[in-house]
Amino acid sequence: MAIKNTILRRSFDSQFTPAAPGVAAQLRLKLKVMLMAVDPGGRTARDGYRYGSANFDESDKQTSDNIHAIRSWKKDEFRAFETDFKLAAERGWNNQIILLPPDADAPAGLSDDDYRQLILRPGLAAHVACSLEIQIVRSGTGVVPRAIIDVARLLFDDDDTARSHHFMITNKDVKFSTNYFKDIAFKQVVAAHEVGHWLGPDAYDANGSFQHVDYAAARARKLPVNADEEYGTTATRSMSIMGRGCVASEYDATPWLARIKEHTGIADGWRFIHRIRFNNGAAPVSARQTRLITGAQASRQPAAPRRFT
């Protein structure tokens, strides 16, 4: 089966491009996002803004402990936020996730031609560099977004207590914030974390969003939704983007692992490695790659001159 270059889905699109001189093979997930400016309504004050409050609770049973003062957005201010959001979400995910292909020459594995598409150069293991591309969608363009996210402009810039979720964020979520696990501080860009929730199979279906790193462990213990344990049961797991931190883990690579299997038709054997470990030589060149490279080089050698006697 030849590798599919493009997959279009309601959840998100993806594009595979083979390795080219100086550029590794790429798997890019493409997510369409519509950001909606939250307006508190009411009368406009003398300074041109409207003031009010917003409840950030995600559930239908909203409580009074997550209500925060907000103000309206000005158009140019919100357009600048859209740009900042795109950059923050992409930077939060990109340049971290590397996928290594299965090396087996089995009939059910990658063909030699497909495997060659993952080889950048002889001394570097065959791999796929993964990335996320955010497309900001605006109403009236005819483009259907995957994610629709409300954005509230907090009145007080030192308000660090608003609990955002993947349906509602704040103007502060494009910058680093601090989370804690047993007195250990973790840095995270909330925009990247919340965008991650939209990388599930289909967030319009029940439980279809990409969940927190230890969501399954928390459910097994019958803990309430969004319990602290969902964000990482250990300090190491808390480092995850879908935990409390900003480091891509094997769990965070799940959407790319699922999609590369669809692009290639090969379900088994794909492995995640972080780019730092990959750059430090933790992925050795396989025997298969050596064979393919050696064979290609041999085929390019000029024929030996004929000798006449």
pLDDT digits (tens, 9 = 90+) for 112-151: 999 999 999 999 999 999 999 999 999 888 899 999 999 9
Task: Report which of 105, 119, 117, 125 is spatially closest to residue 264, judged by C-alpha positions.
Answer: 117
Q: Is 213 helix (H, G, I), strand (E, B) or coil?
A: coil
What mean pLDDT, rounded, does the chain reach? 91
**Angle, vertex CA 267, rays to CA 261 and CA 271, nearest 5:** 80
Question: For residue 92, which phi and psi values (nearest 5 degrees)?
Answer: -65, -30
Cβ atoms of residues 25 and 118 within 8 Å: yes
Cβ atoms of residues 239 and 227 within 8 Å: no
d(C-alpha 61, C-alpha 284), whole Å: 52
The pLDDT, as a whole number, for residue 233 is: 96
In the predicted structure, residue 309 carries a pLDDT above the cut 50: no
- pTM of full prediction above 0.85: yes
Cβ atoms of residues 78 and 258 within 8 Å: no
Give me the residue spans of the domains in the chain: 6-285
d(C-alpha 261, C-alpha 7), whole Å: 11
The length of the chain in residues reads 309
Cβ atoms of residues 25 and 17 within 8 Å: yes
pLDDT band at 259 (very low <50, low <70, confident <90, very high): very high
In the predicted structure, residue 76 carries a pLDDT above the cut 50: yes
pLDDT band at 57 (very low <50, low <70, confident <90, very high): confident
- Extract the tokens encoding 21: 């001189």
The pLDDT, as a whole number, for residue 210 is: 94
Rounded mean pLDDT, 259-284: 96
Q: State how far the alpha carbon of 127 is from the alpha carbons of 49, 90, 284, 285, 297, in Å.
A: 51, 20, 11, 10, 20
